[in-house]
Amino acid sequence: MKTKNYLFLIALILISCSGNKPQKMNEKIQDEITLKIDEIENENTEINLESVAENIIESEKKLNEIRFENWKDGDWYDNDYFRFLRKSIDDCLKGVENEDTEHLQEYKSFLQGQFFVNHVEVFLGGGVFVYLAFLDNPGTMYEAWVYSYVEEQTVTGYSLRAFRKYTEALNTTKEGVMERMKEFPHLKLW
């Protein structure tokens, strides 16, 4: 409603200024009108962005239900998200450059060898956050966001959206990791 009033006011100003006013005056008024229109559009953009954000969150909640509704306990230790992450790391090490390896480039020298998953959690933005460390340097943890695409109630593909060094370090050694793997056979190296 507020926007309609502004637009009506602007239209009236334009009509009244289109008469015999000097050119300088018309330009000044047009500049003011342009600024006012920009303000109105910015107000609408903010409102629309807020609404769009709410819709995206609701949509992703529903998509995450599709992604994970049939998962069993074992799926949290062995799944296509981890396989895709391993493939992306391998591609990066082979020199493949694409949107899935671009986040890995700065860490390329640290990506050698097998990794283990320390923790995984569902992300509201879609997919999972994977907290991992490499067997050769188990004290340094990394965080990866692996997104999955959903079409017609089915996961159809994956994308590595982010990868970074995690701020918290793990207090473990290679031997400690191997001991934990023996103790919990469902854990594995990727």
Q: pLDDT tens, 123-173?
A: 988 899 999 988 888 889 999 999 999 988 889 999 999 999 988 777 888
Q: DSSP letter string over 120-158?
A: EEE-TTSSEEEEEEETTEEEEEEEEEEEEEEETTEEEEE
Domain coordinates in residue numbering, the chain:
2-68, 73-183
The pLDDT value given to residue 126 = 87
Nearest CA among 174, 189, 167 for reference residue 138: 174
Q: What are the structure tokens assigned to 50, written together? A: 């807020």
The pLDDT value given to residue 1 = 45
Q: Read off the amino acid at residue 142.
A: Y
The pLDDT value given to residue 57 = 59
For the cut 70, the answer to whether the pLDDT of residue 18 exceeds it is: no
User: Which has more confidence, 19 or 178?
Assistant: 178
Q: pLDDT tens, 25-72?
A: 445 555 656 665 666 556 555 556 666 666 565 566 688 888 888 889
Q: pLDDT tens, 79-94?
A: 999 999 999 999 999 9
Could you tell me how many helices (H) and strands (E) the chain has, helices first? 4, 4
For the cut 50, the answer to whether the pLDDT of residue 188 exceeds it is: yes
Tally of CA atoms within 13 A in the half-sphere of 26 that contains its CB: 10
For the chain, the residue count is: 190
Q: pLDDT tens, 59-82?
A: 666 888 888 888 898 888 899 999
Q: What are the structure tokens assigned to 43, written together? A: 């107000």
Q: Supply φ then ψ for residue 146, to 5 degrees.
A: -105, 115
The pLDDT value given to residue 9 = 42
